[in-house]
Amino acid sequence: MHLLVLTDEPGGGKTLLPSLEDLEHSLQDAPLEPPSLTGAGRFDLVLVDATRDLRRAAGATRMASVHELAKPVVVVISEAGLAALKNSWGFDEWLLPQASPTEVETRLRLVAERATSERPYRAASVGDLVVDEDSYQVRLRGRPLDLTYKEFELLKSLAGAPNRVFTRELLLQEVWGYDYFGGSRTVDVHIRRLRAKLGPEYEQMIVTVRGVGYKLVPPGQRESRGAVDA
Question: What is the pLDDT at residue 67?
Answer: 63
CA–CA gap between residue 38 and residue 61 (Å, rounded): 14
Instruction: Please report the beta strands in 58-182, taking only residues with DSSP state E, as ranges in sequence order.
Output: 73-76, 93-95, 123-126, 129-132, 137-140, 143-145, 166-167
pLDDT over 70 (residue 211)? yes
Nearest residue to 229 via CA among 200, 190, 176, 201: 190
Going by C-alpha positions, the residue among 45, 38, 56 that lies closest to residue 13 is 45
Q: What average pLDDT does this structure show over 154-164? A: 90
Q: Tell me which residue of 164, 197, 160 sits closest to 175, measured CA to CA.
A: 160
Which pLDDT belongs to residue 221?
A: 66
Please give the pLDDT value at position 226. 42
Confidence of residue 37 (pLDDT cuts 50, 70, 90): confident
Mean pLDDT on 192-209: 94
11-20, 40-49, 86-95, 159-168 — which is least confidently predicted? 40-49
Q: Strands, DSSP E only, in 88-219?
A: 93-95, 123-126, 129-132, 137-140, 143-145, 166-167, 206-209, 213-216
Mean pLDDT of the chain: 85
pLDDT value at 46 more than 70:
yes
pLDDT grade, residue 225 (50/70/90)? Answer: very low
Residue boundaries of the structural domains of the chain: 2-118, 123-221
Write out pLDDT tens, residues 4-21.
999 999 899 999 999 999
Query: Is the model's pLDDT at 116 over the cut of 60?
Result: yes
- Going by pLDDT thresholds of 50, 70 and 90, the confidence category of residue 78 is very high
Q: In this predicted structure, what is the pLDDT of residue 173?
A: 83
**pLDDT exceeds 60 at position 108:** yes
Question: 2-118: what CATH class?
Answer: alpha beta
pLDDT confidence of residue 213: 93
Give the model's confidence band at 227: pLDDT under 50 very low, under 70 low, under 90 confident, else very high.
very low
User: In the predicted model, is pLDDT for residue 79 greater than 50?
Assistant: yes
Q: How confident is the model at residue 119 (pLDDT cuts 50, 70, 90)?
A: low
Closest listed residue to residue 134, CA positions, set 152, 147, 146, 148: 152
Of the candidates 210, 206, 209, 211, the one whose C-alpha atom is nearest the C-alpha of residue 221 is 206
Angle in degrees, CA 29, 12, 68, rounded to 5: 30
CATH code of 123-221, in short, is: 1.10.10.10
